[in-house]
Amino acid sequence: MDPNQFDREKLHEIISNYRDRRWALIPLLQEVQEEIGFIPPESIEPIAEALNMFASQVQGVITFYSGFSLKPKGRYVLRVCRGTACHVKGSRSILRLVKKELELEEGETSPDYRFTLETVACLGACFLAPTMMVNRDYYGRLNPTKVASVLGEYRKDKEDD
Amino acid sequence: MESIALTINGRKVTCRTGDSLLSVAEKNGIFIPTLCNHPDLKPYGACRMCLVEDEKSGRLMAACVTPAAKDMAVLTDTERIISHRKNIVRLMIAEHPESCIVCSKGNRCELRALAARLGVAETRLYPMPNYKPYEELNPFIVRDLSKCILCGKCIRADHELVAAGAIDYNDRGFPSRPATLMEKPLEESTCTFCGTCVSMCPTGALSPKHAGYVGTPEKEKDSVCGFCGAGCSLALGMAAQKVIEVNPSKVKGSVNGATLCVRGHFTHDYLNCEDRLYEPMIRVRGENGEPELRAADWSEAVSRAAETLAGIKRTHGPGSIAFIGSPRCSVEENYLFQKIARVLFGTNNVTSTATINGQALLRRMEEKTMGAARITPIAELEKAEAIVTVNSDMGHAVPVADYHVRRAARAGTPLVTIDTAKTGLAPFAGARIRPDNSTTDPEDRIPALISALVLKIADINGHDSDFVSRFTSGWDSYKTAAKKLLAGQPLSPAEENEIARAAEMLAGRKTAIILSPATMEQRHGARIAEASFNLALVSGSLGSRNAGIFIPSPESNTAGALDMGVVPDMLPGRIPLSDQDGREQLERFWNTKLSPDPGLDLSAIIEAAESGHLKGLYIMGENLLRFLPEPDRVEAALKNLDFIVVQDIIDTRTARLADVVLPAAAFAEKSGSFTNMEGRIQSFTPVAAAPGRALADWRILGLLAQKMGYPEQYATIEKIRQEIRKTIPMYAALGNQRQEWVKNSEKDTPFAGNGARFEFGPIEPHKPADTKPEKPFTAVLGSLRWHIGGGTRTARSSRMKKWNRDSHARLCPSDIVALGLEEGGRIRIVSDHGSIERSFIADSGLTSGRVFVPLGFHENDAVSLAGLKDLKPPAPAWRTCGVEIEKI
């Protein structure tokens, strides 16, 4: 999957649905993020034009929220929690392990766009520390074996494709 | 508004509802520190430095964003507040790089001043400097965002004042910084380098770039910008009698407020360029027998000029001498200049390049409006009911006026643009009327489009029928003619749509119409001006300050030079030479006899020089060889003259042809007045020292008049002003105050109610394009914001010398394909008169068949495409010419 081959017509359609509705910048961006998986930088200027804003303003909103990304992300986004509780429970080692397994640094995406590795300050599931999320699924009480099995699940998925 | 009372620090103060605590405190002389507040920007509350305490609840509030309320009791400097302020400053300094000692902001840094005031020395915090790349690749602005304190002034200035939209905050938390789109360098963003942000930045994060050491300004003095017709108030930062920095002046009621443009802000370093003229020179036979220029003293040089010119007049008659004045020289100087020509030499051969650069349109509109609408304050554009621009990219001609239009449009004022090329205002426009793509001569179509708009407005009953019936004539015959014109040129559906939309926006509204100053200098310009005037009439827009016809002036005194009669067929006060009463009145004032025959215009002067009928030429503040078309021909013509005097600030190519060179002082080095595009007369006084022995132009002219034996002595500027006030009713207020306004004509205007009427302009049928098959393209010679006129001054700015981004010719993408051109290649543009070579870029805003060539770059060689024969008044259409394009 090459994420730069996204559906440009769809993008265009989303933007035109919001034309002249300045207040709707965030819903628009959410829809683009949801549909395309990221917000293509080339869409910033058309969005700004449609909403009568400056392109720099649109970019400011995109970069402010971590929910929006200007870079294509992998099919599976891993968020390893680095909050206090998880830290005490050894999330540093968990992160190190995940990095080693996936050969990715924080914020990076694998060349095949399968995995993206991110860290977050807290997932709000401290009772399960140390935790991480893959897309919308939580994985708690992690240990090296569990990490390997979770990653294995998502890797296995690859062969199924 | 209601008045309310509250106490600040136990003192009872009153204010109006809605005032912020900060502004109330300031008005009452109570100091509250702030880093993010600016009177011209909306309150923002970013820096938290203006914290104040509510006496009753102990609550802390940011004074800039807290509205004053009834019976409030506020404390501004309790120990608790001071401690908070100190902590905020400590945190900012902990994040700041430790480079204060080498920072260009030096002692003018507001953060440092505040730290000193609060007694913050060592922060006793762990230093965590937030290093960011140092950006200084562009020649104007150095960005060192390590020093940014996130006050947001630059971003707010960019959005609220100049509406360029180049920057906004990026990211969040520690990495957050003002950033361009995709964090590209400024030169690749929509930044226009107006420098408004630089003047506002409280720290060293943004600073002007200097080519070398210039020192720190010791003091600031106010002046008026000498570039375009906005007439911005400048605060010139001086070190050792030299201008080293320019900021917008803080004076109240200025044209520009807190803004400037790239020219005003960054190119005044031309004042210190090495090409300035330092001493008078006269041509003598050198040691090797060749004539050469050698230094002379003032008396010798002026005597040589006076005696030789007097000799020419005696032998060949007054018609053998011509005088070329300057829209860059002051009102007083231009008055004296034409008086010397008309009274001492008895000739009407007095003109300037302004006649082919802006004045043609001014004159046409003066005739059409009968002098009843000379005052058009640009600040009123923000109060306009609607704005229409016609072929006008004011962001380049008069940037500061353009900011007002952008602000108005952002605040909801309906904006319609009518143009052949996409302008910077296009994203702000509610309707964009442009000729259909299939049009071969798009300019030719503009009058029809405007006429269609006028008819449409009338159709939906959106016209001002009261104004039309009271003040105008010819409405019915106009309608018939317009319908006939449109029958021959039917509208395309796209045009029809856009015109309907625009008509809805303009219906029932008085409209401010902004025309390009170059309108009359392009093919079909006279018809476009006529059509735009009709639009002003149908919307009843004349006679109100926030509506009417706004004409950006390309030079600081374009209007003043016209008003002072530096034109061959008009006397001071905009009195036509043919007006016998006006002429006789001036004859009485001047105690002389004036010839009723118009003098030579610019092209006639060159022709007369070629034929030998002209013998002597006196040029004040003009570089003819850089600005006039066919420079080689002009040079040969000038060489054919017996005697040339050049009085200028810079050693130009024209000055090198002179027999007498008189060094003059630039605007910052002398007293004078400029009349800007609004009709505002602004007087200024010397700020810097003139280089060497250079003198103000009016002093030189005074010396000349004295040598010629004229009995009046012009020893002070006030003496000249007195005479102008007495002889020219339009300038009766000149020099009374720092700012004055010209007077509208008092007689014979429709508003006087004595039967005169504004006339709907005739509708001339469209003319087929006069392109020859071998010259299929139309070159459009236009000015960009980087250079003024031919660029004699701006190109001598060390900063602008390094700036070539926009020097390329621009072609429509489909033409690039059709011509088989490769990206990054070069083209040769050939006209009937000359040829130039250029790199080119694609511009999708252009219609096919046109090539835009910017003036000012590359020694202004673009002007060699134009022809001298096209300079003929009243519509000197030299800016468009037929060309062919060759691939190199």
DSSP per-residue string spanning B322-362: EEEE-TTS-HHHHHHHHHIIIIIS----EEEGGGGTTHHHH
Q: What is the pLDDT of residue B771?
A: 67
Chain B residues lying within 8 Å of A55, measured CB to CB = 165, 181, 190
Residues from B contacting A (CB-CB < 8 Å) are 159, 165-172, 179-182, 189-190, 427
Question: Which of A54, A64, A65 is closest, CB to CB, to B159?
Answer: A54
Integer Cα distance of B228 and B517 in angstroms: 11
Domains and CATH numbers, chain A: 8-64 (1.10.10), 76-160 (3.40.30.10)
pLDDT at B79: 95
* Chain B nearest-CA residue for A50: B427
Residue of B nearest to A69 (CA): B171
Rounded to 10 degrees, what is the CA torsion of B816, B818, B821, B823? 40
**Do A64 and B171 count as a contact with CB atoms less than 8 A apart?**
yes
Residue with tokens 């600030």: B649
Q: Which of B169, B172, B181 sits opposite A55 (nearest CB)?
A: B181
**DSSP single-letter state for residue B550:** E
User: Length of chain B, please?
Assistant: 888
Chain A: closest CA distance from residue B169 (Å):
5
CATH architecture, domain defined by B281-358+557-741: 3-Layer(aba) Sandwich (3.40)
In order, the DSSP letters of B354-418 are GGGTTHHHHHHHHHHHTTS-----GGGGGG-SEEEEES--HHHH-HHHHHHHHHHHHTT--EEEE
Q: Which of B49, B63, B86, B100 is CA-nearest to residue B203?
A: B100
C-alpha to C-alpha distance for A62 and A82, rounded to whole angstroms: 23
What average pLDDT does the segment A30-50 reach?
A: 94
Token digits of residue B354: 């302004």
Could you say which of A41, A63, A65 has the minimum Cβ distance to residue B170?
Answer: A63
Give Cα separations from B88 to B51, B85, B108 (angstroms).
11, 5, 20
Residue burial B386-412, b: 16+ Cβ < 10 Å; e: rest: bbbbbbbbbbbbbbbbbbbbbbbbbee
Q: How far is CA A143 from CA A103, A132, B650, in A?
A: 18, 11, 79
Least CB–CB distance from A56: residue in B166, B171, B172: B166
Written as six digits, the tokens of A161 are 């494709």
pLDDT for A1: 57
A60 in B contact zone (CB under 8 Å): yes
- Mention the CATH class of domain B777-887: mainly beta
Task: Please check whether residue B354 is in contact with residue B621, taking contact to mean a CB–CB distance below 8 angstroms.
Answer: no
Mean pLDDT of each 10-residue bin along chain B, 888 residues long: 90 94 96 96 95 94 95 95 96 90 87 94 89 92 95 97 96 93 95 96 94 84 96 94 94 95 96 96 89 95 97 96 97 97 96 96 95 94 97 93 96 95 92 85 91 96 95 95 90 95 97 96 92 96 94 96 97 95 95 94 97 97 96 96 97 96 97 97 96 97 96 94 96 93 88 89 74 85 94 95 93 93 92 95 90 95 95 92 93
SS3 for B272-301 is HCCCECCCCEEEEECCCCCEEEEECCHHHH
Facing A56 at nearest CB: one of B168, B171, B172: B168
Across the interface, which of A41, A54, A64 has its CB nearest the CB of B182?
Answer: A41
What is the average pLDDT score of chain A?
91
Within 10 angstroms of residue B757's Cβ, the number of other Cβ atoms is 14
Q: What angle do CA B834, B835, B836 make, to 5 degrees?
A: 135
B430 to chain A, closest Cα gap in Å: 10
The verdict on A108 touching B (C-beta cutoff 8 Å) is no
Domain ranges of chain B: 3-77, 129-272, 281-358+557-741, 377-550, 777-887
User: Minimal Cα distance from B177: which residue of A?
Assistant: A60
Do B750 and B468 form a contact (C-beta atoms < 8 A)?
Answer: no
* Torsion angles phi and psi, residue B322, rounded to 5: -130, 155
Chain A's closest residue to B165, CA to CA, is: A54
**Calpha distance B298→B275 (Å, rounded):** 20
Could you tell me if B129 and B163 are in contact, meaning their C-beta atoms sit under 8 angstroms apart? no
- CB-based contact A59 B168, cutoff 8 Å: yes
Looking at the partner chain, which of B172, B182, B189 has a beta carbon nearest the beta carbon of A64?
Answer: B172
Residue A161 has pLDDT above 60, yes or no: no
pLDDT for position B699: 97
Give the distance from residue A54's alpha carbon to the nearest chain B alpha carbon, in angstroms. 5
A48 burial level (CB within 10 Å; 0-12, 13-18, 19+): buried
User: Count of alpha carbons within 13 Å of B821, Cβ hemisphere only?
Assistant: 25
Mutation target for B interface from A39, A54, A68: give the one with most B CBs within 10 A. Answer: A54
Contact between B259 and B162 under an 8 Å Cβ cutoff? The reply is yes
Distance of alpha carbon B4 from alpha carbon B18, whole angstroms: 10
Q: What share of chain B is helix, strand, coil (3-state, %, to 5)?
A: 35, 20, 45
Pairing of strands B672-675, B758-759: unpaired
Predicted ipTM of the assembly: 0.90
Phi, psi of A29 (to 5 degrees): -65, -40
Token duo for residue B836: 């130039």
Answer whether A57 sits within 8 Å of B165, measured CB to CB.
yes
CATH fold group of domain B129-272 = Alpha-Beta Plaits (3.30.70)
Minimal CA separation from B498 to chain A, in Å:
17
Smallest CA–CA separation between B425 and chain A, in Å? 12
Q: Which residues contact A11 (CB under 8 A, 6 or more apart)?
A: A32, A35, A36, A40, A43
How does B794-804 read in b/e, with b if 16+ C-beta sit within 10 Å?
bbbbbbbbebe
Q: Is B740 helix (H, G, I), strand (E, B) or coil?
A: strand
Burial of B614 (0-12, 13-18, 19+ CB in 10 A): buried
* CATH topology assigned to domain B3-77: Ubiquitin-like (UB roll) (3.10.20)
- How far does A146 lie from chain B, in Å, by closest CA? 34
pLDDT at B618: 98
Q: What are phi and psi of B594, to 5 degrees?
A: -105, 140
Is the CB of A41 less than 8 angstroms away from the CB of B168?
Answer: no
Instruction: Count contacts between A and B (CB, < 8 Å).
Output: 42
Contact residues on chain B for A42, CB-CB shorter than 8 A: none
Which run of H or E residues covers position B223? strand B219-224
Q: Quick one: pLDDT at residue B768?
A: 66
**Min Cα separation B182/chain A (Å):** 8
Neighbours of B567 (CB within 10 A): 27
Q: What is the model's pLDDT at position B240?
A: 86
> Is the pLDDT reported for residue A71 higher than 70?
yes
Write down the pLDDT at residue B655: 96
B182:A59 CB<8 A? yes
pLDDT for the residue numbered A160? 53
**pLDDT given at position B746:** 80
The answer to whether A54 contacts B168, with C-beta atoms less than 8 Å apart, is yes
Cβ separation A49–B427 shorter than 8 A: yes
Q: Does domain B377-550 have CATH number 3.40.50.20?
A: no
State whether residue B825 is helix, strand or coil: coil
User: Which chain A residue is nearest to residue B173, measuring alpha carbons?
Assistant: A64
pLDDT digits 0-9 by tens, A126-158: 999 999 999 889 999 999 999 999 999 898 765
Is residue B625 a contact partner of residue B652, using CB atoms and an 8 Å limit? yes
